[in-house]
Amino acid sequence: MTGKDLFLDKSDPASWRALNGLALKVAEAAEAAGLPRSLIELVNVRISQLNGCAFCLDLHVRLARQAGASEQQVAVLPAWRETTVFSPTERAALIIGEAATELPDHARLQAELAAAREELTDEQFSALRWAAVTMNAFNRVSILSGHPVRQRPAAGKDTTQTAAADAS
């Protein structure tokens, strides 16, 4: 990043508010469809992994854990297809997230979405596709803006001692 780079969210606040408004509507649809927040956050993490969005990974890993996703689920997410730690609904949601992010050839896309569709209600299927579209948009805003990941102290680390050591 250089001093001349612009954060998209800062350079056009109205568009940023519109994207956040979409995210709120998608969250409402997911909740109305009975999808737990932990599932949506796992999808957000997986999409951010595929897109390489460090800022969104930092944020959504924390949100996934706060929403109840297990440490194990977050740890094995890049290899989720090789595990049994995800429910059929979570697996269907991850298929949708990956398909919306990778946009494979038409035949593969249709086959993957059909497999996911078998596990979900119409409302869940729709909400998850919108959630994937929205997360991909947020990833792109963060990547294009170069949103930084700020270091946080390690869990359980006494920051007073660190600050004192840094001062000396």
Spatial CB neighbours of 72, under 8 Å, sequence gap ≥ 6 = 85
| In a domain? residue 18 | yes
For residue 162, the model assigns a pLDDT of 44
Please report the pLDDT score of residue 152 as a whole number. Answer: 87
The pLDDT assigned to 158 comes to 54
Q: What is the pLDDT of residue 157?
A: 63
Q: Which domain holds residue 65?
A: 13-147
CATH of the domain at 139: 1.20.1290.10
The pLDDT of 13-36, averaged and rounded, is: 98
Q: What was the pLDDT predicted at 155?
A: 73
Whether 5 is covered by a domain: the verdict is no
Q: Is residue 154 part of a domain?
A: no
Q: How many domains does the chain have?
A: 1
pLDDT, mean of residues 17-39: 98
CB contact at 8 A, 73 and 105: no
Residue type, 83: T
Q: What is the mean pLDDT of the chain?
A: 92
Within a domain: residue 56? yes
Reported as a single tens digit per residue, the pLDDT across 131-168 is: 999 999 999 999 999 999 999 888 766 544 444 444 44
Please report, for residues 73, 80, 90, 148, 168, the alpha-carbon distance to residue 161 in angstroms, rounded to integers and kept in the order given. Answer: 33, 39, 42, 25, 11
Q: What is the pLDDT of residue 89?
A: 98
Q: Is residue 153 part of a domain?
A: no
Q: Is the pLDDT of residue 68 over 50?
A: yes
Half-sphere exposure for 59 (CA within 13 Å, toward CB): 15
pLDDT digits (tens, 9 = 90+) for 84-121: 999 999 999 999 999 999 999 999 999 999 999 999 99
For residue 79, being part of any structural domain is answered with: yes
- Of 126, 129, 119, nearest to 92 (Cα)? 119
